[in-house]
Amino acid sequence: MSGFPQPSAANEAAFERAIDAIAANTRVLMEELVTAAPKRDREVETAKAKAKAALRYAKR
């Protein structure tokens, strides 16, 4: 949880339960998200980024 790097000893159990609940809810969210976009190929995306950078930083 942002802003709470380490709970006090009195709040440690509640803190750990909250972290577990956040992690579980995040897993559920990520599993249920849908997209119509095709999966990306990392190598193809890297090549496109390099080509774009080459154009951007080419000597004029």
Domain range list for the chain: 9-56
Tokens describing residue 3: 């802003």
Cα–Cα distance measured from residue 46 to residue 48, given in angstroms and rounded to the nearest whole number? 5
pLDDT score recorded for residue 1: 60
Average pLDDT over residues 37-52: 95
Average pLDDT over all residues of the chain: 91
Residue recorded with tokens 């790097």: 5
pLDDT tens for 2-12 read 677 888 999 99
